[in-house]
Structure 1
Amino acid sequence: MQVRHDVLFHALHADGLLMLANCWDAGSARIVAATGAKALATSSAAVAWSHGFADGSTLPRDLLMASVKGIVRASSLPLTVDAEDGYSDDPAQAAALAGELIDAGVVGINIEDGNGTPELLADKIRAIRAVADARGVNLFINARADVYLRGIDASERVQETIRRAALYEAAGASGLFVPAMVAEDDIATVIKATRLPLNVMVRDGVPPLARLVQLGVRRLSAGSAISEAMFGCVDALSRQFLDSGKVNEAGLPRMGYGALNSLMAQ
């Protein structure tokens, strides 16, 4: 009997380190899936940039849903979607978006406190959990605490992260995401203080994989790093072409036409 994707996605956080090479559309999802990934995740920045919008809840929801549906069509792997702040300060609207994502086949979301209060995010999580429960889906709600991104005093970051973790867990969160937290002592302290599986993001200073496993981190996200590199290649090669009439990708990896076309035809 095939395991439900929501059950599988939760299980992937129970042991070891789940690594998510964030994608942004159906094509990038197919490439990531072909590398042997166990699940797929979107990056809100990468999805927004792929449509010509800035990151930060500026992407129209219909374009977000178009990207999500394309990814679901292209891959059978469990998918979690970065829903930013739910695209609304209204918990009911954030929950309605989560319902649309569930209906499209999504089994996990990231939702952040960002510029809002932790109490507002807790309200959103409660509303989203109710919508997911009504659909009979154990949605993995990854609560993103932006403590390290919002200028909170360094001496207060760990305790504030722990406070928010407790608040979000009580509201129905499944996991805790703390981008920009890289110090081993901070990571270890937070892991000991919460039952939520901890998600960290690739960033300068993040401990190596083996150490993350030792510390008990359960999820590592690439975030926007892969898309930043990809768009950097587009920029460099486009400038080169306009300057010289050539595309010399020396030093850059390349997937040939045949390989790409074959992959996309699956």
Structure 2
Amino acid sequence: NSFSCTRPDGCHYLQSKDGPVHGDFFNQSSFATYAIGRRRGVIKVRQDAPLEMLGPLGCGIQTGAGAVFNIFKMKPSQSLVVYGAGSLGLSAVMAAKIAGAGKIIAVDLHPSRLQLAAELGADEVISADEGSANDKIRKILPDGVDFALDTTAVASVMLDGIDILAPRGTFGFVTAPSNGKDLPIPMRSLMKGCKIAGISEGNSNPEVFIPQLIDFYMQGKFPFDRLIKFYPFDEIEQTFHDSESGAAIKPVLRFDQ
């Protein structure tokens, strides 16, 4: 019910003279100075955790890392390609490094994001606007990759992710194509024993997984702080612009204290 903008029972927290206020978007609402948190959505963290940075762990960062740890269950020496080096894809890169991946490949359009992917653990980075990414991946891994993760929701890229799989590989995706159309699955590609996995929040138990990610961060193994850029709330328009342009990977708005 994350997108219903209501409580689990269908009721609304707020009423106006014109009717109920849909003020519970994503179970918290957006750009609010105060929010009502349900007990099941509140995670206890260690006392020395940097609270100002933990918000993004609840969505994209948890999803990317969870794809690697919980869905792929990645083992040392296995390979991963991530299509899209945003907060979700870069979190998968960091998680794969922790898991001891044999080869980590990141594909993106933005040179700055590819540079960061390399700094966070990617062994190879590929620009998506310089020819076929899959042709370049096959030069690195002729038999394909064990795991492919799409974070772009671009149909052609998702098909690339399925096509590049090695035998018994797994393709994971976090959202459907943005045009709303179904994806024509190339069944022949799946005849190698491959799987397709839809991923929601990394299929994690947040009460356990988020504290684990924080521990990795505090140990210096999961530097997700490098994805975050803070903005004062009066720069909200700039925040949206930087998010759209790729200048900011995980922008976080802060209200005046």
Choose between structure 1 and 2: higher strand proportion.
2
Q: Give the TM-score normalised by the residue count of structure 2.
A: 0.29
TM-score by length of 1: 0.28
More helix per residue: 1 or 2? 1
